[in-house]
Structure 1
Amino acid sequence: MPSLLHHPLDPSSRLVRLMCAEYGVPLDMEEIKPWLREAELLEINPAATLPVLIGDSDTPIVGLLASIHTIEDLYTPSAVEGLIPAEPGQRAEMWRLIEWVIFKLNDEVTRYVLEEKIVKRDQRGATPDPAVLRVAKANLNEHMLYFNWLFATRAWLAGDTMTLADFALAAHLSTLDYLGDIDWGKAGETRDWYSRIKSRPAFRTLLNDRVVAMPPQRGYADLDF
Structure 2
Amino acid sequence: MPTLLHHPLDPSSRLARLMLAEYGVPVELEEIKPWLREADFLEINPAATLPILVDEKGGQAVGCLAVLHMIEDLYAPTSIDGLMPTDAAQRAEMWRLFEWVNAKLNDEVTRYVLEEKIAKRDTRGATPEPSVLRAAKTNLAEHMLYFNWLLATREWLSGEVMTLADFALAAHLSSLDYTGDIDWGKAGETRDWYSRIKSRPAFRTLLNDRVVAMPPHKGYADLDF
TM-score by length of 2: 0.99
- C-alpha distance in structure 1 between counterparts of 2:172 and 2:94, whole Å: 16
Structure 1 segment 23-42 matched on structure 2, within 5 A: 23-42=23-42
- C-alpha distance in structure 1 between counterparts of 2:44 and 2:124, whole Å: 27
Alignment partner, residue 150 of structure 1: 150
Alignment partner, residue 87 of structure 1: 87
Alignment partner, residue 207 of structure 2: 207
Alignment partner, residue 163 of structure 1: 163
- C-alpha distance in structure 2 between counterparts of 1:224 and 1:142, whole Å: 24
Answer yes or no: is the 8 Å Cα contact 1:84–1:91 preserved in 2.
yes
Structure 1 stretch displaced more, 197-206 or 67-76: 67-76
Alignment partner, residue 46 of structure 1: 46
Answer yes or no: is the 8 Å Cα contact 1:44–1:60 preserved in 2.
no
Alignment partner, residue 137 of structure 2: 137
Q: CA deviation at 1:60?
A: 1.9
- C-alpha distance in structure 1 between counterparts of 2:40 and 2:28, whole Å: 17
Structure 1 stretch displaced more, 75-84 or 204-213: 75-84
Structure 1 segment 1-225 matched on structure 2, within 5 A: 1-225=1-225
- C-alpha distance in structure 2 between counterparts of 1:124 and 1:202, whole Å: 36
Counterpart residue identity of residue 220, structure 2: Y
Q: CA deviation at 1:78?
A: 1.1
Structure 1 stretch displaced more, 96-105 or 53-62: 53-62
Residue 91 of structure 1 aligns to a residue whose secondary structure is: helix
C-alpha distance after superposition, 1:73-112 (max 9, x if no partner) = 1101111110011100000000000000000000000000
Counterpart residue identity of residue 204, structure 1: R
Q: CA deviation at 1:204?
A: 0.1
Counterpart residue identity of residue 110, structure 1: T
- C-alpha distance in structure 2 between counterparts of 1:16 and 1:51, whole Å: 7
Count of residues in correspondence between the two structures: 225
Counterpart residue identity of residue 205, structure 1: T
Residue 5 of structure 2 aligns to a residue whose secondary structure is: strand
Q: Which consecutive residues of structure 1, in runs of 5 or more, have no partner in the other structure?
A: none
- C-alpha distance in structure 1 between counterparts of 2:59 and 2:92, whole Å: 29
Q: What RMSD, in angstroms, separates the aligned Cα atoms of the two structures? A: 0.5
Q: CA deviation at 1:59?
A: 2.3
Q: CA deviation at 1:178?
A: 0.2
- C-alpha distance in structure 2 between counterparts of 1:56 and 1:223, whole Å: 34
Residue 79 of structure 1 aligns to a residue whose secondary structure is: coil
Runs of 4 or more above 6 Å deviation: none
